[in-house]
Structures are given as C-alpha cells and as structure tokens.
Structure 1
Amino acid sequence: MGATAGAVVWGRAEQQDFRSRVRGTLLGVAVGDALGAPIDGLGLDEIREAYGAEGLVDLGFGYGRRGAVTHLTQLSLFTVDGLIRAQVRRDTGAWHPPTDLHRAYLRWAATQRDWGPDERRKDDGWLAREEWLYARRDATRSLLLGFGDDTMGTLESPKNPNELGPEATARSAAFGLLVGWEPQLVVQLAVECAAQTHGHPVAYLSAGAYAVIVHALALGDSLDGAVQRALALLTARPGHEPVSDALQHALGAVRQGMPTPARVEELAADGSADGLLSAAVYCALVGEDVRHGLCLAVNHDGPSAAAGALTGGLLGALHGETALPPAWLAELEGRPTLLELADDFAMEMTQGPALHGPAGASPGWLARYPRA
C-alpha cells in the first residue's frame, strides 16, 4: 500500500459531519442486513405470502429476535476494527493495512469457532470481547475457507479464485470512510482485502467499486457522481468489464419507469457481487427515502441480506445517521457496539495523533486497539 493523501484539516463542523456519515454508513449496513435477514433466500411469492402484498416493510424475526444481523454486519465491524488498528500501528513503521485487516478477520473467524471471548488473548482488543458477536449467522463457505487458516490471500495468490459472491463487497463500506486517502488507494485496499476470501476479479473489483463509491459519498458527492468516479477508476483494472457494465446498467435502469421488484431482480441477476452492487446502487438512487430504498432492496428473489446491507451503506454514507429509520435503529442488534466503534473510528481518523502520536499516547486507547 502507498501513502495516504496526507492529513485532513478538520474543523468542528467537518468532524461532526464526518461522524454522522461514519455512523450512518455502519448503521445503514447493519439495518439493511437486519431487514433482509429474515427473508434471505426466499422467493418473492414466498415473501408476499408471509408478509402481505407489499412484502416485508418492517423488521421481521430472524435468529430468534427482531433486528438480528448476519455475518455481513459482523465482518463489517471487524473491518472497522482492523482499519483503526492499522492506523495505530502506523506509528511503529510496520504499516501494511491488508495484514492488519487479515488479522481482524481472523479474530472474526474465532467468533465462529469459539463459545465466547478468550481473556488470555490480551491483544485481541475490545471488539473481540463482545459476547454477542459469538453468534454463528450463516457465514458462507467462502468466508470460512478464506479465514480457515493463517495464510492470507493476495491478488497474486487469492483465496477462492472462482468465488463470485457479494460477501466481500458487503464488508467493504468502511474502506470508503478513509476520506484522507486518494480514491485509487481506497480501491486498492478494498480489492486486496476482498481477495482474502473472494479471488475472482468480479468479486474483488465489486468490493473496490463499492468502497470508492462510499468514499465519494463521504466526501459529499452525489450518488450519481460517486458511481461515475468508480467507473473512471475501474477502467485501469483488468477484468473490470462485468462490474462496469453492472454499474452502467443500474444508472440506465433509473430512467425505465417506476421501480419494481422485477427490475431489482433483473439487476441482481444470479446474486453475484456485480449484480448485487448494481441492485444496491439502483435502490439507493430511486428510493423515495431510506426506508423505501431498503424495502425495495430486500423484496425480491435474490440475496436479501446482502442487497439490504449494500444499499444501507450507500444511503447512510449519503445522508448520515439521522436519515435512517429510528424505529428500526431502536431494535437493531448490537447498536451500542456499532455506535461505539463508529465514534472510535471517527476519532481515530480525525484526532489520531493526539491518541498515539510521538507527543504522547493514551494507554486506554492502546488497550482498546493494541499495536501487537
């Protein structure tokens, strides 16, 4: 990885706006995931039979409660944790963010094997000690295999080189919140980290495109402008054509009349990463508000949780946390953890040197995000 674009000069209003977008992005991913989780894998006819002619329009029951999240939100949290740890480790000179992210994802993998936190692992940090994360939420085979050993997949030697699924894309919103980085570096980090589980170019380039769309939104761009930026950056990447075509298809579908589940399903296609990215962009563009966009994203025959998570991340980055439906946030599993991690990320990105710079370090911060 190269260097960042340099320090961002933060005024108070800019810090508040950034924190709102960080919160909005992470909560948006989670609430979209939770909305889609109870109907993930159901056909549209089955959804309507269970929930009525309009389909699912409110949080349903999944995993024994309303507002439960899946492995997609779990991994999004560990992405944020890994990014904070990478920034903290930068002071040591041993700075390789993909490695820090891989270590974070291995901590997630431990939550899928262990009964609960292991207090002996002092370097795990606080997130890995959150007991609610030790719930198995139908993680896909590609994730369990990708993080099943200590070997890190790379672009030269990726894990699961034939995997086209959307899971790596759905954990990649946080890369876009690195607003002090150049866009091409955001793409590069997201792509490298996606290849740790999803080695097909369609999957890892979808993750890069999604991250840089979130990046543009977090900097105040429109969604259409953000997609255009992603398209421009994709052209330099071998194998980008399916992802670029999918994004163009999403933009074109906006002009084809009223949004329908059939149009979302057409964009989502076979549920691969490029199709789900296309569907999410479309739903975020045509939704009358966040609630409408998210309901549109989950009510179809495709993977509802991933579509909801991707759409929620876009809408949260675009509008900030206050645009998200309060009644859904009130019942969202893990909301205190999500907010705490979002605020820690915003503080690290805006005030990191004061927490662990050469002038002094906060022992409490380094206990939360150990350098080891």
Structure 2
Amino acid sequence: MTAAPASPSTDALRARIRGCLLGGAIGDALGNPVEFLSLDAIRRVHGAEGVTGLVPDSDGVVGRVTDDTQMTLFTAEGLLRAQAATGDGELGDDAVAAVHRAYLRWLDTQNHPAPPPAVSADDPVRSGWLRTQPWLYAQRAPGNACLSGLGQGRVPDPRAPLDERPGPVNPGSKGCGTVMRSAPFGLIGLGAGRAFELAARCARLTHGHPTGAYAAGAFAVIVHRLLDGVPVEVAVQCALELLARYPGHEETSAALRAALALAADGAPTPEKVESLGGGWVAEEALAIAVYAACAATGAGSLAGGLLLSVNHSGDSDSTGSLCGNLLGARHGDAALPPSWLARIEGRAVTAELADDLSYAFHGPRPPHGEPVFPYGRYPRH
C-alpha cells in the first residue's frame, strides 16, 4: 500500500493556494486571445507551434483575464464571507447563498461600468472590497447561462438531494461556466466530499444539467487532493471514486477516464487535445485541463502543460484557466513562469485573495479569541 502523503506545511499550502489562483489567471490570459480560433487559424497567426507565450488580445493588450478568473475570484470572496459569518473556520448552511451573493457582485461588473452604489449601509450584495476593483468591470465574453441563471435569483436548498435532476435554473445547460469558477471550493480544507457537494450545489445556481454540477464537484476534489502534493492522476482517481456515488455521473466519469487514458498514450499533441472535445461544455473542459496537466511532467514542464491546454479549436481561455488551477495547486506559485505572471491583469488582487483564503481556512490561528483577520473586507452578511 502506498503511504499517504504527509500533511503540507502552512507555507506549502499558502504557495499552492496562490499557485492555483495565479496559475488559473495565467492560463486564462494565455487562452483569451485565441478562444474563438481554430487550431489551423492559431497556427497560421502564431506559427507552427501555435501560441508559445502571452500574446495580445483583439485590443492589443497582453495579459488580460476573462470571466473565468473574474468568477473564480468572486467564488473565493463568497467563501471568505461565508466563513466570516461563522468566525470559526467552518462553513454553515448559508455558504451557497453567500456564494450566490458574490456572483451577484460579479454580475454587477458585467452590467455597470464602475461599482454601483449600495442600496443601504448593510446591503448584503453591494459591499466588501472586491467589488471596488475597477479592472473587474469589464465584459470578457461572459457565459450566457451564468448571466441568465443569476438573473433568475434562485438559490438551491442546501439540504436537498444533490442528484435531483434537472436543476431548476437553466435545466438543460452544462456549460463550462460551472467548472471554470470552482477551484476555490477545493482550496479551503473541507475534505473531498464536502468540497464536491458545495461546488456542485453552487454550480446549480446557474446551470441545471447534472453534468455541469458533477464536473464542478470533481474539479474541486482534484484541486483539494493536489494541495496534499499528490500527482494529478491520483487526484483524478479520488474524484472518480466520489463521482461513482451519484446517479448520472457517467458522462463526467467517462470524460475523466478518457483524459487519463490519452495522457498515458504517447507524447501529447494539440490533435489529441481536440479528440476530447472543444471545452465548451463542463466535462470536456475538465477533461482537456486534466489531460494537459497530466502531460506537464518533469522539471520546467508547467509552461508546456499550460500551452498545450490553450492550443486547440475550442474554449481556450477556460481550458487554460482550469489547467493553470491544477498545475498551480500541484506545484505552487514559485513554479509559475515569472515573465508571464508579471503581466497578468489583477495579479496583486488575486494573490491577496489567495492569501486570505489560506489564512482564514488553514491558519495559523491564535489559541484564544478571534483571529486577526481583515473582516472589514469580508462583511459578515
């Protein structure tokens, strides 16, 4: 029997949490300029190897992130505010509602050119520090299901069976908008089962198809296990074991198994990436990210995995973001290519949120009294 990995130190956890969020932003920015291009078009524009680094978007700007990173940050903020409401490092039944309110703050960034005024001094939505960041007020091809789902304002019952099918919001939708925002659920030390359930329930805020929820849950589990320092393949097997407990998991499980089988079958290529689909739907985006992350083995290969994840004829920013989340969680922020990281939009805010997640959920915490934590940034409602 293989021995379980030792628990990572607080410093190692902080590095991996930072790596996850910053790595996701890098992958997002790598894929953003080529999201709607075919592989042939990418090669015509950028050469036979496709994108080999950060390139300008249609406005000539390098390093811009998209709704993938935006929503991931608001997921993290929602979880921090849910934790702030309890003050004990745990999450209560209000966690899904807290994440929903965070997504409504993201929705404001898509509907307004600057932070809109709060309705009242204790407005549960228009409060906190993240919504005040001007750079977040930008539309970067947000997903239709995310926009329309949040517009319905429905929050699932946190105690309802997860396998209720379909969900009440956008019941036929399983777009990758569920999985691309779900890394933070795996970063907060809930355990694999709780991370899966919470990510899946929050996916149903906008997408009702069970595959959208299960892919988000599986992704959270993989991220959770990567924080322990296990290989990507081991983390995926843990997700598969959990998925098997839920009716209707087969589509997500099959996509993950296809990614693992492909990763074991010779040298990686963009053509192999494309055999997994385009990444527009949740299970395909998850599979492409897992395949690219598995291919990134050996010293100095993290950049190669990220580039593999975006050089295809599909949703390149989402698959890049997911792959970056995985590789960053596996290797930590010090392994991220520094020349890419230096040019990423919002990197300071992203790092700050990562550090707040690390402190709030993983300590160190004082033995007595309330922890010293910037609750002013994360109001308890």
- By the TM > 0.5 criterion, same fold? yes
Instruction: For 1:282-297, list aligned pairs within 5 A.
Output: 282-288=291-297, 289-297=301-309
| 2:284 corresponds to | 275
| 1:27 corresponds to | 22
Change (3 A) 1:116 1:270: closer
Q: How far is 1:119 from its partner? A: 4.9
| 2:76 corresponds to | 80
- Counterpart CA distance in 2 for 1:68 and 1:149 is 29
Change (3 A) 1:171 1:94: closer
Residue 203 of structure 1: which of 178, 202, 212 is its match?
212
Residue 343 of structure 2: which of 331, 338, 361 is its match?
331
- Counterpart CA distance in 1 for 2:58 and 2:65 is 8
Change (3 A) 1:283 1:175: same
| 2:145 corresponds to | 142
Name the SS of the counterpart of 1:368 in structure 2: coil
Equivalent residue letter for 1:144: L
Percent of residue pairs bearing the same amino acid type:
43
1:173 aligns with 2:183: yes
Question: TM-score under structure 2 normalisation?
Answer: 0.89
Name the SS of the counterpart of 1:50 in structure 2: helix
1:301 aligns with 2:301: no
Residue 259 of structure 2: which of 250, 261, 278 is its match?
250
Change (3 A) 1:267 1:95: same
Q: How far is 1:267 from its partner? A: 1.1
Name the SS of the counterpart of 2:81 in structure 1: helix
- Counterpart CA distance in 2 for 1:207 and 1:95 is 19
Question: Mind listing any 5+ residue stretches in structure 2 that lack a counterpart?
Answer: 1-6
- Richer in helix (by share): 1
Q: How far is 1:366 from its partner? A: 2.1
Residue 85 of structure 2: which of 84, 89, 100 is its match?
89
Equivalent residue letter for 1:148: G
Q: How far is 1:14 from its partner? A: 1.1
- Counterpart CA distance in 2 for 1:279 and 1:187 is 20
- Counterpart CA distance in 1 for 2:278 and 2:106 is 29
- Counterpart CA distance in 2 for 1:306 and 1:283 is 13
- Counterpart CA distance in 1 for 2:280 and 2:141 is 16
Contact 1:153 1:159 in 2 (8 A): no
Q: How far is 1:342 from its partner? A: 0.8
- Counterpart CA distance in 1 for 2:264 and 2:327 is 20
Q: How far is 1:159 from its partner? A: 1.4
- Counterpart CA distance in 2 for 1:307 and 1:290 is 15
Equivalent residue letter for 1:101: V
1:278-331 deviations in Å (ceiling 9; x for gaps): 111110011241110011111111110111011111000000001111000000
Contact 2:259 2:290 in 1 (8 A): yes
Q: How far is 1:165 from its partner? A: 1.2
Change (3 A) 1:88 1:168: same
| Greater Cα shift, 217-226 or 234-243 | 217-226
1:240 aligns with 2:239: no
Q: How far is 1:360 from its partner? A: 3.9
| 2:35 corresponds to | 40
Residue 46 of structure 2: which of 51, 68, 72 is its match?
51
Instruction: For 1:182-221, list aligned pairs within 5 A.
Output: 182-221=191-230
Contact 2:152 2:169 in 1 (8 A): no
Contact 1:173 1:313 in 2 (8 A): yes
Name the SS of the counterpart of 2:376 in structure 1: helix
Q: How far is 1:94 from its partner? A: 6.3
Contact 2:278 2:315 in 1 (8 A): no
Contact 2:212 2:283 in 1 (8 A): yes
Change (3 A) 1:232 1:371: same
RMSD of aligned alpha carbons: 2.1
1:195-218 deviations in Å (ceiling 9; x for gaps): 111111111100000000000001
- Counterpart CA distance in 1 for 2:99 and 2:152 is 14
Contact 2:10 2:363 in 1 (8 A): no
Say how many residue pairs are matched: 358
Question: Mind listing any 5+ residue stretches in structure 1 that lack a counterpart?
Answer: 1-10
Contact 1:163 1:198 in 2 (8 A): yes
Q: How far is 1:271 from its partner? A: 3.0
Change (3 A) 1:26 1:185: same
1:131 aligns with 2:134: yes
| Greater Cα shift, 329-338 or 267-276 | 267-276
- Counterpart CA distance in 2 for 1:306 and 1:270 is 7
| 1:69 corresponds to | 65
Name the SS of the counterpart of 2:102 in structure 1: helix
Q: How far is 1:15 from its partner? A: 1.1
- Counterpart CA distance in 2 for 1:325 and 1:91 is 36
Q: How far is 1:269 from its partner? A: 4.8
1:71-123 deviations in Å (ceiling 9; x for gaps): 01000000110111111112499642111111111111011112212354655
Change (3 A) 1:361 1:233: closer
